Structure 1
Amino acid sequence: MHDERTAAATETGTGTDFSRRGFVVTSLATGFALAVQPVSAQTITTDSDGLVAGEVKIPTKDGQIPAYRAQPKGDGPFPVVLVVQEIFGVHEHIKDVCRRFAKLGALAIAPELYARQGDVSKLTDFGAIRPIVAKVPDAQVMSDLDAAVDFAKGSKGDVSKLGITGFCWGGRIVWLYSAHNPAVKAGVAWYGRLVGDPDELHPKSPVELADKLNAPILGLYGGADTGIPIESIEKMREAIKAAAKTAEIHVYPDTPHAFFADYRPSYRKEQAEDGWKRLQEWFKKNGVL
């Protein structure tokens, strides 16, 4: 992973100059990512009755990126929730999560954050996905999420009630964006990596930004997640405490990575439902929902 990122840093120079890139992805995937087939029978499907839901285009500094947006019908304004994709991009599961938030009265928006680097939805080999994701600069992601907030503001969104949640790759981004944007009211990070080796495209890990958090963060993690050891969670807890920031990390014992992903074998119904309940309580407590 480090070698791939180093190569990517060389390719983009400073790691923040993404304006020269073209756009590989111009529309969202339909269905589920091919890397996680077959889809589980436990998959949750949320209808769009009473909602305005579908693909939109978000203007950014260097062009448009596709995104999925769901919000209630009506005049609003609606609270805004940024939904940050897993490593597999914005596919049907992430779209469904947006509709779940819209059913709760929010405008939820999930921008395709790999749009310049590649379309991972059509790749069947997980090993082929990693090099693409490694080329996505944190600075680009922060900028694109800012653009998504601006889009939501112009689409009946109340950005004074701004929340963010993300899964896996997106869980890490929740911590980073909460340190980046002082307008965030609360965040919920699902099993996002907390430590890591820095490189030019990814200069800081969440544990290094604990003192920069602008909003209360709830972390939801699995005790049996082989990619996120308990030691790293304890390190993050210590950093949060030292920084005197408001954050809680809840660890579900004997629970794997991606336990919220109802379309995958890793799904754990009880933990997922409890996490979704905790998310709603956290967002209500901190002025998002």
Structure 2
Amino acid sequence: MTEVEITTPHHPLKAYVATPKGEGPWPGVIVLHDIFGLTRVTRGHADWIAEQGYLAIAPDLFSWDGRIRCIRTLMRDMAARRGVSFDDVEAVRSWLVGREDCTGKTGVIGFCGTGQFAILLAAGHGFSAAAPNYGPVPNDIEAIMGGACPVVASYGGRDWTIRGGAARLKDALERNGIENDVKEYPAAGHSFLDDHKGLIGILGAVIGASYKEKEAADARARIRTFFAQHLGDGTVPAEESRWTTGGRSPARKGFGRGL
């Protein structure tokens, strides 16, 4: 696992890279962090994806300036559907594709706010698969899904912030003829794939945004299968037991832990 710095058209951007075992080349996956930034949770997502045979990179979208300014820029760019944040992701994708150990195929996965970002990146940005997780669904979702790459998406039925989001996304993808796997988990709330600890975890539990082990394992299995079909050779790797609990093996402590 490596920390790197990527030059974008606007600024240097720090990133975390997780490399699969063995010899490449491998497909690449960009792992977009949630509103808390590049925490151990996001690094854990990148580690899990690398275990499945993908060159995973988690860019720190908040590393180029103060956190508040970076968050405002991300929100503004998503509303405008263009800007610094999109340029940053494209620079990271180009960095992946330019590596000798990358096949040239890339996917993107996002969580919470960047779940919406992953939706916006599904069409016209060079990705072969997108995996938005509990990201807000744009009001014009049907219009912007034309020509999108295949999408695997996961939502929580108890997520009061995105009521009906899964159904609207599914409908838009179907109407545009986009291959998809969209699932809503009735017992899960927001952030059910993110096992935040400490104060973040406590606050999340209070508002119904906490890790759900069973639902998280199922969502990971669906993403694993979908990525294998659209990024890999169709062979689905067997999931190792340590990932079913949202935690690393004892030798690699820290998966899924917050700030």
Q: Same fold (TM over 0.5)?
A: yes
Q: Is the 8 A contact 1:186 1:288 kept in 2?
A: no
Matched, 1:70 2:18: yes
Quick one: which amino acid aligns to residue 192 of structure 1? Answer: G
Matched, 1:212 2:153: no
Matched, 1:113 2:113: no
Q: Is the 8 A contact 2:151 2:178 kept in 1?
A: no
* Corresponding residue of 2:75: 134
Matched, 1:152 2:93: no
Aligned CA distance change for structure 1 residues 241 and 106 (closer, same or farther; 3 Å): closer
Matched, 1:61 2:9: yes
What is the Cα deviation at residue 212 of structure 1? 3.5
Counterparts of residues 4-43 of structure 1 (less than 5 Å)? none
Structure 1 residues without counterparts, runs of 5 or longer: 1-52, 121-127, 197-204
* Corresponding residue of 2:250: none
* Corresponding residue of 2:236: none
Superposed CA offset, 1:123-172 (max 9, x none): xxxxx996565345542222111111121233334243211111111111
Q: Percent sequence identity over matched residues?
A: 27
Aligned with residue 217 of structure 2, among 266, 269, 273? 273
Q: Is the 8 A contact 2:191 2:211 kept in 1?
A: yes
* Corresponding residue of 2:245: none
Aligned CA distance change for structure 1 residues 172 and 159 (closer, same or farther; 3 Å): farther
* Corresponding residue of 1:262: 195
Measure, in 1, the Cα distance between the counterparts of 2:143 and 2:66: 28
1:83 alignment partner, SS class: strand
Aligned CA distance change for structure 1 residues 100 and 156 (closer, same or farther; 3 Å): farther
What is the Cα deviation at residue 88 of structure 1? 1.2
Pairwise CA RMSD? 2.3
What is the Cα deviation at residue 228 of structure 1? 0.3
1:193 alignment partner, SS class: coil
What is the Cα deviation at residue 254 of structure 1? 2.4
Aligned with residue 104 of structure 1, among 42, 52, 66? 52
Counterparts of residues 173-192 of structure 1 (less than 5 Å)? 173-181=117-125, 183-192=126-135
Q: Is the 8 A contact 2:109 2:115 kept in 1?
A: yes
What is the Cα deviation at residue 70 of structure 1? 1.1
Measure, in 2, the Cα distance between the counterparts of 1:59 and 1:161: 21
- How many residues of Structure 1 are paired with residues of Structure 2 in the alignment? 219
Per the normalisation by structure 1, the TM-score is 0.69
Superposed CA offset, 1:53-108 (max 9, x none): 12110111123111111113555212101101111111111112111222222210
2:161 alignment partner, SS class: coil
Superposed CA offset, 1:200-221 (max 9, x none): xxxxx544412231x1101100
2:121 alignment partner, SS class: helix
Quick one: which amino acid aligns to residue 179 of structure 1? Answer: A
Per the normalisation by structure 2, the TM-score is 0.76
Q: Is the 8 A contact 1:252 1:271 kept in 2?
A: yes
Q: Is the 8 A contact 1:222 1:252 kept in 2?
A: yes
Instruction: Mark the structure with the bigger radius of gyration.
Output: 1
* Corresponding residue of 2:178: 245
1:184 alignment partner, SS class: coil
Structure 2 residues without counterparts, runs of 5 or longer: 234-259
Measure, in 1, the Cα distance between the counterparts of 2:45 and 2:184: 21
1:178 alignment partner, SS class: coil
Aligned CA distance change for structure 1 residues 142 and 246 (closer, same or farther; 3 Å): same
Measure, in 2, the Cα distance between the counterparts of 1:255 and 1:207: 25
